[in-house]
Amino acid sequence: MNKTYQKKHELWLSINFASFAINDEAIKSRLYDFSQIAFRHMKWLANDILTSGDNYNYDRDMMLMKRESVFEIIEALISEVKAIESSYPQSILGQRIKTDDAYLIEYLYEVLKDNRNNEIITAFNMQRKWEDKELEKEQIDALTLFLFEESYKEYELILVYAYMQARTDNKLHFDVFQDLIDESHFHLKSFGNMMAKLGILALPRELHEMTYVVKDLNQFVKDGIAEEEAAKVMCKELSDAIKDEELSKFFDFINYQESYHIELMKKLL
């Protein structure tokens, strides 16, 4: 079952990052919805594994291939979804996941039917240009560093909080973890789409087991608060450094959200 969980984890990432890479807003939105369904599959599989007395981890064995067209991404997704089908458990949960995946495949085939959907992918071209604006190199460098660091942080937090949420019977803890997971999904989506616009889309690095197997919850939360405070500083510095009103307002917005994350984490203490 842990191998099935790993494949679902990888599929969630593949759908998620396909949505970031594709520019068409309709396809991007639908794929992101499917990625959220895949993440719920991960949650349900995790609960099944724990209920059976087994365990799972966040090991990965995948690469984000630098596809050059929408159809290349869609065809690769179809192959990946089909490859995992036989791994699902023979249960009501397994049947639910299979029917969700079957509908995803139907949607992907619909995309392939219209050649107008086959746009060029610019998410990996390394151009490092922000839309039609002329940002100075120092500003692009600061933005690049921020996006790589923070996309990993949000990916890490999604998985760590999900790992702990699956292991708590405390309603307050469960609710706080859910809020933090939802917020981190939004941040990862925002940063992933920004990386794609810059042509630097890449997977966050893999988590080490020591990151999510938490022995001391109090210390973990204290460290998490410190990490959120550091993110606030980075947001403020980036907002001040980038001479673009739209981007500056966005990073102020993220900064204020990080402030509330700190308050949520204080509830855990």
Which two three-digit tokens encode residue 206? 């893999």
- d(C-alpha 13, C-alpha 31), whole Å: 11
Confidence of residue 35 (pLDDT cuts 50, 70, 90): very high
Contact 195, 121 (CB under 8 A): no
For 191, residues 6+ apart whose C-beta sits below 8 A from its C-beta are: 147, 150, 151, 154
Taking only the tens place, the pLDDT of each residue in 125-163 is 999 998 888 888 888 998 999 999 999 999 999 999 999
For 171, residues 6+ apart whose C-beta sits below 8 A from its C-beta are: none
Contact 192, 201 (CB under 8 A): yes
Which two three-digit tokens encode residue 126? 């390394």
Concatenated DSSP letters of 107-164: HHHHHHT-GGG-PBP-TTS-----TT----HHHHHHHHHHHHHHHHHHHHHHHHHHHH
Confidence of residue 220 (pLDDT cuts 50, 70, 90): confident
pLDDT of residue 15: 98
Q: Is pTM, for the whole model, over 0.85?
A: yes
pLDDT of residue 231: 82
Residue that the structure tokens 């969630």 belong to? 12
**pLDDT beyond 80 at 219:** yes
Residue ranges and CATH numbers for the domains of the chain are 1-121 (1.20.1260.10), 125-269 (1.20.1260.10)
Short-list 186, 215, 210, 192, CA closest to 58: 210
Confidence of residue 268 (pLDDT cuts 50, 70, 90): confident
Which two three-digit tokens encode residue 243? 């001479």
Q: Name residue 106's amino acid.
A: E
* CA within 13 Å, CB half, 121: 24
Residue that the structure tokens 């917020």 belong to? 183
**pLDDT beyond 80 at 259:** yes
Short-list 58, 3, 15, CA closest to 188: 15
